[in-house]
Amino acid sequence: TRVGVLISGTGTNLQALMEQAKRTSSSAEIVVVISNKPGVLGLKRASLAGIQTRVVDHKLYGSRAEFDSTIDHVLEEFDVEVVCLAGFMRILTGSFVRKWNGKLLNIHPSLLPSFKGVNAQKQALQAGARVTGCTVHFVAEEVDAGAIIAQEAVPVLMNDTEESLSDRIREAEHRAFPAALELVAGGGYHHTCPNTPWPPSPK
């Protein structure tokens, strides 16, 4: 399965996905990495792994529709079948999300449906949650909604700061995201998540 990864930054999740895809047992092949920000570390990680990169700078587009359609063209150019959002910090338009329905995966640093939106780790601390985690889900038009593919729980410890909690969640993300991608790319999602209708719809 040909995979495109969209990033905006450091790309530690991208790194985990690339390492999984390199295994001979993997059903995924990452064919392009697209960043909306030039010069980020994630682009360098992709180049070092010999993967093609593109920058689609949102600041150069007059509307979200034009930005999204440029990304869509790049994905089509590379014959991408499955798209992973790995720390991609732009909200995609409804028409893009609908076109890629069931093929667009996102990672979020909480156990959804808890703590949607930005600062999910801070929200967990402020709520006094003893457990949080990460979620890989299909993207639906509503932000941080859509069928769940994989989750991993992470404890919140007594003296946690936003940073220490974020670090612990990120380690879990590096396991959950490759596992979820493998499930989708290998066609095993239906069998593992029989309660979820296909195509996946918002919850």
The site for ligand GRF (CB under 6 A) is made up of 9-14, 42, 86-87, 107-109, 170, 173
| 167-199 per-residue burial string, b: 16 or more CB within 10 A, e: under 16 | ebbbebbbebbbebbbbbbeeebeeebeebeee
Q: Which residue is nearest to ligand GRF (CB)?
A: 87
Taking the complex as a whole, the smallest distance from the CB of residue 135 to ligand GRF amounts, in Å, to: 9
Q: How many CB atoms lie within 10 A of CB 65?
A: 13
Taking the complex as a whole, the smallest distance from the CB of residue 191 to ligand GRF amounts, in Å, to: 26
Burial zone of 25 (CB within 10 Å; 0-12 exposed, 13-18 middle, 19+ buried): exposed
Taking the complex as a whole, the smallest distance from the CB of residue 10 to ligand GRF amounts, in Å, to: 4
**How far is the C-alpha of 150 from the C-alpha of 50, rounded, in Å?**
28
Residue 69 vs 151, nearer CB to ligand GRF: 151
Which of the following is catalytic: 58, 73, 108, 191? 108
Taking the complex as a whole, the smallest distance from the CB of residue 175 to ligand GRF amounts, in Å, to: 13
- What are the backbone angles phi and psi of residue 13, rounded to the nearest 5°? -65, -40
Residue 82 vs 120, nearer CB to ligand GRF: 120
Taking the complex as a whole, the smallest distance from the CB of residue 11 to ligand GRF amounts, in Å, to: 5
Residue 10 vs 201, nearer CB to ligand GRF: 10
Strand arrangement, sheet containing 52-55? 52-55, 29-35, 2-7, 82-85, 104-108, 131-138, 148-155
Amino acid 87 reads: G
Residue 51 vs 107, nearer CB to ligand GRF: 107
Where would I find the beta strands (DSSP E) of 14-96? 29-35, 52-55, 82-85
Residue 59, both tokens: 């600041």
**How far is the C-alpha of 151 from the C-alpha of 149, rounded, in Å?**
7
Residue 108 is among the residues annotated as catalytic for this protein: yes
Residue 42 vs 178, nearer CB to ligand GRF: 42
Residues carrying an active site annotation: 108
